[in-house]
């Protein structure tokens, strides 16, 4: 791909990724290629929702700001996040991580009550609608990646939740409403995570970078600050100058495992700068499409499509075991061995060249 890729982070309309019966249209193939090459080069892509969905995302962020603003300055002991990997599919409601100066409200259908627990506390508004919107988009994006890898249609259906959920089922995926650096939240003061540089308040998280264990993550923020590490090891600010209907998408470790390492998960971090004059902090909506806990991550679909599968990916891994394991990211930092997303062969047609000259 050297010297033959995208000049900037790809932008793709969600409507252009929607599959239809019959042969794929040129618009579909160009959009899938832009999506895939952006993930390969930048580990992220910007997805443009219909303009009407921008109002829902904006109202969700507005509700998030008000929700966290009315929270107490320091969370109760039972609301402190312990990062227990055994609870990966059971998180619900409010919790906080003072060490990262972060507060989260997890909405998980089938588990999270949507009625106020008492007369004084209300949940962020619109979560079921936002969950549905981002969840449907995540599946469309996953199918588009499958098309690019020449897998069969909907190859990951067996490891995904039912749509809709059946009686008494609990969603494996979750919508996280997040708030970083709320000035009235005292977490950072307890852990000395802030300092002053040039008159600005700067946050230094304990972890230099993070990687999601999801298949696909979609993030919408009210302020820029999400950085993702690209193919060349540079940290790219991916959520700057986004429109109200635009969302950042990046792959996670579960997709890396299920595609035998062909889809590299995003290494990301959040920077919070100059927030002392902002009474709400930085809020975001983060949807993570997760595999079901009682299934396994297997590369059988990759083998069936003719892709080589290295020894470390040969055996299926139960999802619950995968989520509870630690996953060192050292090999992900060495992107020079990047082997995936080869350009299609000439018989696939001229649409790749057309994509490369598009000014999306």
CA-based end-to-end distance of the chain: 19
Long-range contacts of 203-209, Cβ-Cβ distance < 8 Å, separation of 24 or more: 203/101, 203/271, 203/272, 203/273, 203/275, 205/100, 205/101, 205/269, 205/270, 206/99, 206/100, 207/100, 207/269, 208/269, 209/267, 209/268, 209/269, 209/329
Q: Are 229 and 235 in contact (CB under 8 A)?
A: yes
Tokens linked to 186: 């005292």
Q: What is the per-residue pLDDT for 1?
A: 37
Pick from 219, 212, 213, 215: nearest CA to 60? 219
Domains (range + CATH), the chain: 11-329 (2.60.120.330)
Alpha carbons 176 and 65: distance in angstroms, whole number? 13
CB 298 within 8 A of CB 236: no
**3-state SS, residue 51:** helix
Q: What is the pLDDT of residue 87?
A: 79
Q: What is the pLDDT of residue 201?
A: 45
Q: Model's pTM, two decimal places? A: 0.87
Listed as ranges, residues in the chain with pLDDT below 50 are: 1-3, 120, 188-206, 335-360
Give kind and range of the element (H or E) at residue 94. Answer: strand 93-97
* Alpha-carbon distances, residue 271 vs 133, 228, 230, 262, 293 (angstroms): 27, 11, 17, 28, 32
Question: For position 358, what pLDDT does the model report?
Answer: 39
What is the pLDDT, as a whole number, of residue 4? Answer: 55
Q: What pLDDT is recorded for position 262?
A: 96
Q: Do 254 and 266 contact (CB within 8 A), yes or no?
A: no
Q: What is the pLDDT of residue 318?
A: 97
Residue 195: asked if its preceding bond is cis (omega within 30°), the reply is no
Predicted confidence at residue 248, as pLDDT, reads: 98
């Amino acid at each position: 791909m050297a010297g033959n890729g995208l000049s900037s982070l790809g932008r793709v309309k969600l409507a252009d990724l929607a599959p239809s019966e019959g042969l794929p249209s040129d618009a579909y193939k160009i959009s899938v290629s832009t999506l895939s090459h952006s993930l390969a080069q930048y580990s992220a892509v910007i997805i443009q929702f219909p303009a009407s969905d921008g109002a829902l995302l904006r109202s969700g962020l507005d509700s998030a700001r008000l929700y966290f603003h009315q929270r107490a300055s320091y969370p109760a002991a039972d609301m402190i996040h312990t990062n227990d990997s055994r609870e990966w599919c059971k998180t619900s409601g409010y919790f906080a991580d003072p060490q990262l100066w972060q507060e989260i409200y997890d909405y998980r259908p089938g588990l999270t009550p949507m009625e106020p627990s008492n007369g004084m506390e209300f949940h962020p508004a619109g979560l079921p609608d936002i969950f549905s919107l981002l969840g449907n988009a995540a599946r469309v994006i996953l199918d588009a990646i499958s098309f690019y890898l020449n897998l069969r249609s909907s190859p990951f259906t067996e490891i995904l939740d039912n749509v809709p959920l059946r009686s008494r089922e609990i969603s494996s995926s979750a919508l996280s409403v997040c708030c970083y650096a709320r000035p009235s939240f005292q977490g950072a003061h307890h852990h000395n995570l802030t300092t002053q540089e040039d008159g600005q308040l700067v946050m230094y998280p304990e972890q230099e970078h993070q990687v999601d264990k999801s298949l696909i993550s979609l993030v919408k923020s009210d302020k820029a600050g999400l950085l993702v590490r690209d193919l060349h090891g540079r940290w790219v600010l991916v959520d700057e100058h986004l429109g109200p209907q635009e969302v950042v998408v990046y792959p996670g470790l579960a997709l890396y495992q299920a595609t035998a390492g062909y889809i590299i998960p995003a290494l990301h971090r959040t920077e919070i700068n100059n927030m002392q004059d902002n009474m709400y902090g930085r809020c975001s909506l983060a949807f993570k499409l997760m595999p079901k806990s009682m299934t396994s991550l297997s590369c059988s679909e990759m083998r069936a499509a003719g892709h080589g599968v290295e020894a470390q990916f040969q055996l299926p891994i139960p999802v619950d075991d995968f989520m509870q394991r630690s996953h060192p990211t050292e090999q992900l930092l060495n992107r020079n061995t990047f082997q995936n997303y080869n350009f299609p062969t000439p018989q696939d047609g001229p649409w790749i060249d057309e994509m490369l000259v598009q000014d999306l």
